[in-house]
Chain A
Amino acid sequence: MNKKTRRNIHRAAKRTTFYIFVTGVVIAMLLPIYFVVSLSFLSTREAYRYPLPLLPELKIHYKMTHGERGYLLSVYDQIDKEYQTVMDTQDLDKMSVYMKSQLGAPMSVSEIQQQIARLDTEDPIYFTRRKNLLYNYQTFFQVAGTGQAVPALIRSLEICAMTIVISLFIGGMAGYAFARYYFKGRNALKFSVLFVRMFPGVAIAMPMVIILVNMGFYDQPIGLSLVYSVGSIALTIWITASIFMGIPISLEEAAQVFGATKIQTFIRITLPLALPGLAACAMYAFLGAWNETVAAIILTQFNPTFSVVVYQTVLGAVGQVNLAAAGGIVMALPAVLFTFFIRRYIHQMWGGVTV
């Protein structure tokens, strides 16, 4: 019995160490992400506090009294745990703008006047406003890329859609050929598909400028999707080939025995079975096109993609860290969501990780 308890203790200790380690790894992975998310919800005033607050303030507590030059406005600071003076002015417009842009808890001039009226009876007065947590996001879409953020977002989605269609259609056909037919040069061709991905993207993007200008596609979404498809077609071929190989040929033969033509068989039997895998390919194409920045910088001029807009905002971010964070989150969100949907296939692509 003694031996049994010893065995149990040993096992429990091992398991605990293991979970502590895994937790550590998870924290290391998520901590930077947590801080950016938190940063994107901070008001400008909070974002320039040091050390940065761990959590964004949800409400702003104001304190107002008569100051030397007019009205003295203070806000409660969650780190120092005291009211801190932010301005002393008579200009209520200025105060209203400050509340909106620096504190993220806007009040109109008339609302401020209502509060000021209370100063006659009590001094100082206290009031609280809910913070607009999405203020940075709203500002990002208004300001970033000199108002280009929303059109750039739409453009990026267009590019992604076109890339998906091109690479699924062309890559899927080739994938089917590799999966179902043995023909001369099969291996050489498969190797060359890999070689396409070995050649750096920049090396293609540069000469593509001239090619696309000649085609009239320079600085156009279609031009970029043609470039992005080069990479995603190769990936689509590899994935679809393995998907089609996984669908037993006997299922197709059975359909043909019961009188279906080859094309009917493909549409009725093979395609539906391959659909989840094809969806994964589509999302890969989406991710590739959505995340890409280099070629987009080179191949656009007046019509940047969303990633270029974020890149520009981040590059000039020294003055606006919370705005940069919001841009980064908007950029990352679709990518993370799509990855979540295709996580099964990421595993499958590398040979079926199932833990």
Chain B
Amino acid sequence: MATLQLKNLTKRFGKKVVAVKGINLEVHDGEYLVLLGPSGCGKTTTLRMIAGLEEATDGEIILDGVDITDLPPRKRDISMVFQSYAVWPHMTVYENIAFALKLKKLSRSEIDRTVREVAGMTKIGDYLDRYPTQLSGGQRQRVAVARAIAVKPKLFLMDEPLSNLDAKLRVATRTELKAIHNKTHATTVFVTHDQSEAMSIADRIVIMKDGEIMQIGTPEEVYNESASIFVADFIGTPPTNFIDVQVVAAGGTLHLVNPHLKLPLSPENAARLKGQEQRNLILGIRPENLTLTGETEANLSAPCLVAEPQGSHQVVSIELDDKLLKIIAPARPAVHSGEMVHLKFKQESLRFFDPQTGQRI
């Protein structure tokens, strides 16, 4: 059990490319922290610096109060699950798991006990004598996890461990990983580019872009209180809808106006935008916060472009200034393409962003 601190951690490749731009981060004891971002955002580089596989250009990595920045990986008391699993093909499953324990000079009986314990936890007890080539992708992934748990590290690192599994197995495995974490309570840093994966397993999510941290927060926070257009767009499927609007004062309250829309604001929202009349801003609203309603109550009416039934619900798309606006609506009544849809905006779910900086107002 441990805490991890990153202080001004920086990685430069060559002179020009800065992969990680001085990030600061604290991982709490027993926490399941997910680094999330599109490819090339620096999340894997960050993880590899924590593991010691990549030299930090600048900054410090502190594990349990000890500066480990310049230590080689083997002296860091960490373990890792690799994207390709990196299960050694010339060793049996047993030997793979026992590798680190043997290097730690544990007694034979102790090694055997640990191997069987973690193999049981990851349900690979029957395959201990097999070679990795005789296992399926999912089983190999379990071997990688078992090998990582066996060393009982202070810190657990996972580099997109689920990305090589097929969709169904991926969902099942992430549940199991979470269950294993609930047993071991090991401090974990997990890297992924899949936001739904991040949402489902994280205690806290760190969203990165271009080597910088965009937002840190619980899954609810990053989803409901996204700090920027980038985060609001990156999190959630379908993503947040964005509409360019202008703030206009009329009839004693504020309205958000564009050629298709005239949306009177609730007192709370009006208070938030007070004194910002005539300002252009971007309105963000999640698809489930647009409701289908009757023509009279509607804030916005437009013909349906496509409706995609999903069984439990349907996703209705309308076109607004060449941009698609998506609505998650109940499965019934079914909407047909060409049919007029009337939308109502949930006032408490309106989010306002600055068009220049992209930051939340």
Residues of A within 8 A of B69 (CB): 3
Q: Which of A1-29 contact B (CB under 8 A)?
A: 3-4, 7, 11
Closest-by-CB residue of B relative to A4 is B58
Residues of A within 8 A of B58 (CB): 4
CA distance A124 to B43 in the complex (A): 82
Closest-by-CB residue of A relative to B56 is A7
Residues of B within 8 A of A4 (CB): 58
CA distance A7 to B55 in the complex (A): 9
Interface string of B51-65 (1 = CB under 8 A from A): 000010010000000
Q: Which of B40-77 contact A (CB under 8 A)?
A: 55, 58, 69-70
Closest-by-CB residue of B relative to A6 is B70
A54 to chain B, nearest CB (A): 38
A127 to chain B, nearest CB (A): 56
Interface of B is mostly: loop
Interface string of B67-102 (1 = CB under 8 A from A): 001100000000000000000000000000000000
Closest-by-CB residue of B relative to A1 is B58
CA distance A7 to B67 in the complex (A): 14
Query: How many B residues, CB 8 Å from partner?
Result: 4
Residues of A within 8 A of B70 (CB): 3, 7
Closest-by-CB residue of B relative to A11 is B55
B14 to chain A, nearest CB (A): 13
A297 to chain B, nearest CB (A): 45
CA distance A4 to B69 in the complex (A): 11
Closest-by-CB residue of B relative to A7 is B70
A50 to chain B, nearest CB (A): 49
Residues of B within 8 A of A11 (CB): 55
Q: Which of A329-347 contact B (CB under 8 A)?
A: none
B61 to chain A, nearest CB (A): 12
CA distance A7 to B69 in the complex (A): 10
Q: Which of B3-28 contact A (CB under 8 A)?
A: none
A3 to chain B, nearest CB (A): 7
Residues of A within 8 A of B55 (CB): 7, 11
Interface string of B278-307 (1 = CB under 8 A from A): 000000000000000000000000000000
CA distance A54 to B58 in the complex (A): 49
CA distance A11 to B58 in the complex (A): 13
A95 to chain B, nearest CB (A): 63
B20 to chain A, nearest CB (A): 15
CA distance A7 to B12 in the complex (A): 14
CA distance A3 to B55 in the complex (A): 13
A353 to chain B, nearest CB (A): 20
A6 to chain B, nearest CB (A): 9
A105 to chain B, nearest CB (A): 52
A342 to chain B, nearest CB (A): 31
CA distance A11 to B54 in the complex (A): 13
CA distance A156 to B153 in the complex (A): 67
CA distance A3 to B69 in the complex (A): 10
A130 to chain B, nearest CB (A): 48
Closest-by-CB residue of B relative to A10 is B70
- List 6 interface pairs A-B (beta carbons < 8 Å), by A numbering: A3-B69, A3-B70, A4-B58, A7-B55, A7-B70, A11-B55
6 closest A-B pairs by CB: A4-B58, A7-B70, A11-B55, A3-B70, A7-B55, A3-B69
